[in-house]
Amino acid sequence: MPRVAIIGKGTAGCLAVAYFYKQGYDITWYYNSSKKAQAVGEGAQLNLPSLMYKSAGWNFDDWREVDGNYKIGIHYRNWGDKGDYFHNFLPPQVSQHFNAVKLQNLIFNLYKDKVKCVDGDIEHKDIPEDYVFDCSGKPKDYSKFNASEFIPVNSVHVTQCYWEYPEFDYTVTCARPYGWVFGIPLQNRCSIGYLYNKDFNTLDEVKEDVKNVFADYELTPSQDTNSFSFENYYRKKNFEGNVAYCGNSSFFLEPMEATSILTMEWIMRKADDLWEGYTEEETANQEYLDWNREYEHIIMMHYAAGSRWFNDFWTYAKTRGQNCLTDARGYPKWKEFVNAALTGEYDDISKQYGGGWAYHSFAENLEGLGLHG
C-alpha cells in the first residue's frame, strides 16, 4: 500500500485525506492545530457534491451539518452592456454553498481515527512517506510561481450578514464601481465579499459602497468582518518528484468562478495518476499550466465586457480583460468552444473548458455579457 503524507488541515488538506483514503493510500496527516481555520472559499462548482459522496458517502441532506445551501447557478448583475443575466447549472445538476470551517472540522472528525495524525510543522526532507501532498497554505516566497498577467483585483472586504433562513439559492456576482461583490448564501448567514484593487481604491471607499449591496438585498451587516490583500498565482511546476502541491500552496486565482475546489480535485486525481504511473511529470505539469490559464480566460471574460461604471479601475480592468481574450484567441480550444457556443453546434456536450465550463456555460456567458468571442 503506497504511503502518502498530507500536509495541512484547511479545505484542501481535508478533502485530500478523504480522497486518498478512498483510493487506498496509507495516510499520515501532518498539520499545525494552532493555525486558525479560514472561512474562505465557501462556494463550489458542480464537482463538490459528487466528490463528497464518493469519498465520504455524503448525500444532500448531510450538507445541513455544514450550513449547506443549494447552488443552482450564478446571478450576474451590472456586467457588460446588458447588465443582468443568470448562468444556470443544467438540471438536475446542483452544487453547494457551505461553511468552510465546519466542513474542515467535520472531515477531520471523520478521519482522525482512520489515519495517522501528527500535530506540528514539518519539512519535506523529514517526511518518510513515499509521496507528499502539500496543502500547507499560502507561500512565503513566490519565486516558484507565475503571477497572473491579467486579474485586476488584489484585495477583499468580507462581511457576514446573519438571517433566519437563506433568501436565495444561487451565488450573487455583482459588479460595483470599485470591483465586484460576491454573495454566498448559507443556512444561517450570507457572506458578502467586495473584491477591489488597493492601488485604485481604499478600504473606506469599499466599506461605504458595500452598504448599497446590503440595501439591495435587504441584508443586515454584522460586526463579523475580515479584510485582506492577496496575490493571484499558480506554480511554474506543481508536480516535482514525489511531491504534489494543492490548495493555496499550489494556486490562488480570485473567486469569480469558484474554481478552487474543482482545481483541488483535479490536482488530486492527477497526482494519483502520476504516482500510479499513468502519466508523466512533464505532461502533468503542462496540463496544470493549461488548466489555470484556461481559468484565467474564463474569469477575465467578465472584465473584458466591463460594467455600468466608467472610472480608472474599470478602464484598467476592462483593458486587462480584453488583453486576456486576445491571449485566449490564440488557443484552438478557446476558438472551438466559442464557435460552438455561438452556433449551437456541439460535437461532445461533456467537453469542458478549464475543467468547469461546458458549451452551454460559454453560450450563456457570452450572451449575457454581450460578447462575441
Model pLDDT for residues 317-367, shown as the tens digit of each residue = 999 999 999 999 999 999 999 988 888 887 777 788 887 888 888 889 999
Q: Quick check: 373 pLDDT over 70?
A: no
Closest listed residue to residue 294, CA positions, set 239, 320, 333, 349: 333
Q: In percent, how much of the chain has pLDDT > 70?
A: 99
Q: Quick check: 257 pLDDT over 90?
A: no
- Could you tell me the pLDDT band of residue 89, with boundaries at 50, 70 and 90? confident
Cα separation, 115 vs 92, whole angstroms: 35
Residue position matching grid coordinates 495517522: 116
pLDDT tens-digit series, residues 178-193: 999 999 999 999 999 9
Cα separation, 362 vs 345, whole angstroms: 12
> For 19-29, what is the mean pLDDT?
96
Give me the chain's average pLDDT, please: 93
Cα separation, 334 vs 340, whole angstroms: 10
Cα separation, 22 vs 317, whole angstroms: 43
> For 94-106, what is the mean pLDDT?
92
- Could you tell me the pLDDT band of residue 157, with boundaries at 50, 70 and 90? very high
Cβ contacts of 72 within 8 Å, gap of 6 or more: 88, 89, 94, 169, 170
Q: Quick check: 40 pLDDT over 80?
A: no
Chain Cα centroid distance, residue 278 = 26
**Comparing 91 with 96, which gets the higher pLDDT?**
96
Q: With contact defined as beta carbons under 8 Å apart, do 272 and 20 qualify?
A: yes
Q: Quick check: 282 pLDDT over 80?
A: yes
Element (H, E) at 287: helix 281-305
Q: What is the pLDDT, as a whole number, of residue 131?
A: 98
Of 1-15, 29-43, 126-140, 288-302, the poorest mean pLDDT is in: 29-43
pLDDT tens-digit series, residues 199-236: 999 999 999 999 999 999 999 999 999 999 999 999 99
Closest listed residue to residue 218, CA positions, set 156, 162, 178: 162
- Could you tell me the pLDDT band of residue 67, with boundaries at 50, 70 and 90? very high
